[in-house]
Amino acid sequence: MRAPWLSRRNVTCTQKKDGTLHLEHWPVSVHRLAARIHQKLPRGFLVFDFRRLQMRLLHIHPALARCIAGFGLLASMAAAQAQSNFAKPTKSSTCPNDDSALKLPPGFCATVFADGIGHARHLAASANGLLYVNTWSGRYYGDDVPHAGGFLVALQDKNGSGKADVIERFGETVQSGGAGGTGIALYQGWVYAEINDRIVRYTLPGGSIVPAGGPEIIVSGLPLGGDHPMHPFIIDSKGSIYIDVATATNACQVKNRQPDSPGISPCTELETRGGIWRYDANKTNQKFSPAERYATGIRNAEGFAFDSSGRLFVTQQGRDQLHANWSKLYKAPEEASLPAEELLLLKAGGDYGWPECYYDGLQQKLVLAPEYDGDGGKQVGVCANKIAPVASLPAHWAPNAMVRYDQKQFPARYRNGVFIAFHGSWDRAPYTQGGYNVVFQPLQGERASGTCEVFADGFAGPHEDPAGAAHRPSGLAVGPDGALYVSDDIRGRIYRIVYEGGSGPSGITPCPSASAPVHEAVEAAAQPPEGTHPDAGAASNKKLPVPEGATAAMVALGDRIYHGQVGGASCTGCHGENAAGSPLGPNLSSGKWLWSDGSYAGILKTIKEGVPNPKEYRSPMPPMGGAQLTSGQLGALAAYVWALSH
């Protein structure tokens, strides 16, 4: 059956004998895609997500709608989308209690173990089945009000239902000066936790799941502030505690995250940041100092895991903004595809390259950073003497936690590798974001034995971006019963994943390769329950007010620039698709202004000059959002931002 009335751009729509719908002569043959690809179509687009075995309707070209309707498929697609609604997940006979909305390999099931416990970061599971959680607070979460009773949480499933029926809190509170933290671990009957600039420990008395007394300080004076103020850690069997002291800046520039700003040489920040520090978990009242640095050149190592031989692996979050800050050396798509995230084998005295080097996943090597005379990825220079990762991971996915599976409930293949929780990207904007999942990285000895595999997905719901994600993986732990626990630091959800049996590794989904194209910039706008219209954006622009000195056409152009369709700006990465703000940037529609009086001229000046030292957010904004805008585009973007607030 051919639809001859569908002729725009010579597109043909054909239904094969097996009932499948084939679109021919699009830029890509959609039916032949074997991995998750977001392919933008004229005036709207469909997302064909074969990795998740679903098709999501974001926008739809009218001709394509007629084509699908002609085959009687539009209703069935809408039904499929309704069934995949994040708030109302479907349940299978294999997993009748699944209320998680997660997508897992065959044989695995997930449930919500606890919910709403605070901004849950790292986890620790005890030998008797208790789960301990550290939670965080502050401007990254919009300065919302933390739970009363303490930032540390103990969870227990007393009746064996797979749900936490006992939830108790302890530790410091806002009233005692606490702000929470990320790191947490169990060692020799103590709960160790990060709080502000300290690692402390609490003793657990018999018969209680929470401590009765106050904490003892293990290490104090850990550096705070800057881009990465958290201090995840791990403790080995001998009592050595390894602490991530991440960097204050993106790339040790003279002006952090500003275009063409050179790197400080030598990078004095490395004296107290950008590495792993080692202390004794059995000693109290130790003070932070440069002398205890164990390894250096690590920008942000939030995930730690020992393998069965005692080797320590850590994750590294790669640097940001190669194109935004060095547009003469890097193309716009390379903002999203470079550099790779990394899995490192930690060695005493090791230097892993930051800030002079970054890892190019496509070339599979460390290359010289532009701040240190790099030429866009060709030169190696001093990077030849740095330690390369044992595995490269997709760019900007943000590894936040890692754990080795040391139980027997999962299939045996999962005992030879690590699970990694990816918090999800922001710096891939205006291209499709990535991460927001848990992957499995197979290992053999000191090396990766294959590419990583997407193990658990669907945490974010329909909107994989910092502003719209429903949940973001942040911590991992393996319980004594073999369950894998995953924390979420947006709404404080804890997931429990178990294996119920199946056909083995048939449902394995490889992570995208470093050479996978980022495709066109997309506008993944929020989807209202009544659906979307292909011209909704254009219609809304007509209703937006126009500042004096601008025109309605400028506001419309500014909308396209803001959403990455013109000019290569990445505004949505920090301010959100609907400009309502995110943990990285303020709400642009609230009428509250931090750097101007909110006038058209004031907004234009702020965008043009950038915000090198933000007042309420961690990450500076480069001039023009890191894009190379013309004066006309700059005026249009300012007009659109003004219109949003009026």
Inside any domain, residue 520:
no
Of 474, 494, 510, the domain-final residue = 510
**Domains in the chain, number:** 3
Read off the pLDDT of each residue in 200-215 and give the average, rounded to a whole number.
Answer: 94
What are the beta bridge partners of residue 305?
313
In a domain, 173, yes or no: yes
Report the C-alpha gap between 19 and 10 in whole angstroms: 22
pLDDT, residue 254, reads 95
53's torsion region: left (phi>0), alpha (psi -120 to 50) or beta?
Answer: left
Q: Are residues 233 and 112 in the same domain?
A: yes
Is the model more confident about 183 or about 575?
183
* 515 part of a folded domain: no
Range of the domain at 450: 108-510
Are residues 445 and 589 located together in one domain of the fold? no
CA distance 503 to 555: 55
CATH number of the domain encompassing residue 591: 1.10.760.10
More reliable by pLDDT, 570 or 71 = 570
- Number of neighbours of residue 646 by Cβ within 10 angstroms: 12
Cα 194–Cα 320–Cα 389 angle in degrees, nearest 5: 75
Q: Which range, of 6-10, 536-540, 607-611, averages the lowest pLDDT? A: 536-540
Say which residue, 537 or 323, is predicted with more confidence: 323
Residue 334's pLDDT band, with cuts at 50, 70 and 90, is: very high
Reply yes or no on whether the pLDDT at 104 is more than 90. Answer: yes
The whole-angstrom separation of Cα 387 and Cα 346 is 9
Domain membership flag for residue 2: no
Mean pLDDT over 136-141 rounds to 86
Residue 506's alpha-carbon distances to 129, 328, 417, 483, 502, in angstroms, are 30, 45, 18, 20, 9
Report which residue type is found at 402.
M
Same domain for 229 and 129: yes
Q: Is the pLDDT of residue 113 over 50?
A: yes
Do both 78 and 220 map to the same domain? no
| Least confident window among 101-115, 152-166, 399-413, 626-640 | 626-640
In a domain, 94, yes or no: no
Is residue 338 located within the same domain as residue 284? Answer: yes
Both 550 and 497 in one domain: the answer is no
Model confidence at 25: pLDDT above 60: no
Question: Which pTM does this prediction carry?
Answer: 0.75
Neighbours of 322 (CB within 10 A): 28
- Res. 65: pLDDT tops 60: no
Residue 521: inside a domain: no
Same domain flag for 444 and 311? yes
Choose the weakest-confidence range: 118-132, 308-322, 569-583: 569-583
Cα gap 123→384, rounded to integer Å? 37
Beta-carbon neighbour count of residue 215 at 10 Å?
22
Are 495 and 110 in contact by the 8 Å Cβ rule? The answer is yes
**Pick from 104, 34, 3, 18: which is nearest to 410 by CA?**
104
> Among the three residues 83, 100, 118, which one is the final residue of a domain in this structure?
83
Judge if 129 and 237 occupy the same domain: yes
In a domain, 597, yes or no: yes
Same domain, 363 and 504: yes
**What is the average pLDDT value for the chain, to the nearest integer?**
83
Same-domain check for residues 258 and 321: yes
Q: Is residue 341 a contact partner of residue 439, using CB atoms and an 8 Å limit?
A: no
Same structural domain, 40 and 140: no
Residue 608 near residue 624, CB atoms below 8 Å: yes
Stretch 25-49: mean pLDDT:
33
88 CB burial (10 A radius; 0-12, 13-18, 19+): exposed
**48-57, 280-289, 448-457: the lowest-pLDDT one:** 48-57
**pLDDT-above-90 percentage for the chain:** 61
CB proximity list for 528: less than 8 A, separation 6 or greater: none
d(CA 214, CA 152): 13
Angle at 31 between CA 26 and CA 37, to 5 degrees: 80
Domain co-membership, 477 together with 566: no
Instruction: Please report whether residue 99 resides in a domain.
Output: no
Residues 151-181: pLDDT tens digits?
A: 999 999 999 999 999 999 999 999 999 999 9
Q: For position 186, which CATH number holds?
A: 2.120.10.30
Q: Which of 83, 118, 135 represents a domain boundary (last residue)?
A: 83
> pLDDT tens digits, residue range 380-425?
999 999 999 999 999 999 999 999 999 999 999 999 999 999 999 9
